[in-house]
Amino acid sequence: MLKRLFQWAIARKADDGVTLIELLAVIVILAIIAAIAIPVVLGSINSAKVNTTEQDLSIISEALNRYATDHNGQYPTTSSASAITLQGTAATANGDSVTYYPPNSSSSTTGTLEQALAPYLATIPADGWGNAFEYSAPAPSTGASPTFTVETLKENGSYYYVTNSNGVTDSTTSP
């Protein structure tokens, strides 16, 4: 049978055109390939967003820890326990500010976290989904250790966050 198919294919003239069956067969094959490829590509995109977010959280955490090393273990503090927006332009628009010590200064000032971390981090990135990270670091009570939390909300409603006491965490609840 295969031999007859090859003979038929060779015997066909170039001007015979394409039959409807052949066209439908090609469309079905392309649909099967697309059905396999699309979920793989979409899964890869989401995986890349997750990896980007985890790496960015680690980078921000490292910058905050370098700041604390240079400032006697203190982190830039927020005015309240509620989280503020991390990205510079969004933070400025929201009026979100932190109290921090500029380089080579013994007096504190108020500004965005991006300004506070400028010597340690060129810019504060958005998470993998394009959202701004949120930062919280209330002033510690007397004798308490200073803490910070940087978090972001993923598309599925769970959180990625990092604190000064642990690495990047994937959780269904906010820290």
Structure tokens at 39: 């979920």
Structure tokens at 103: 């380089």
Is 65:148 a contact under the CB 8 Å cutoff?
no
**Does the pLDDT of residue 65 top 60, yes or no?**
yes
**Does the pLDDT of residue 1 top 70, yes or no?**
no
Which residues on adjacent β-strands are paired with residue 170? 160
**Does the pLDDT of residue 27 top 90, yes or no?**
yes
**pLDDT at position 80:** 64
Is 110:97 a contact under the CB 8 Å cutoff?
yes
**Does the pLDDT of residue 77 top 80, yes or no?**
yes
Structure tokens at 133: 């990270």
Question: Model's pTM, two decimal places?
Answer: 0.68
Mention every residue, 6+ apart, whose C-beta is less than 8 A from residue 101: 71, 74, 107, 108, 109
DSSP designation for 7: H
- Of 141, 151, 137, 165, the closest CA to residue 76 belongs to 137
Read off the pLDDT of residues 107-165 as tens digits, 9 standing for 90 and up.
888 887 888 888 888 888 888 888 888 888 877 766 667 778 887 776 666 666 677 66
Averaged pLDDT for residues 46-58 = 84
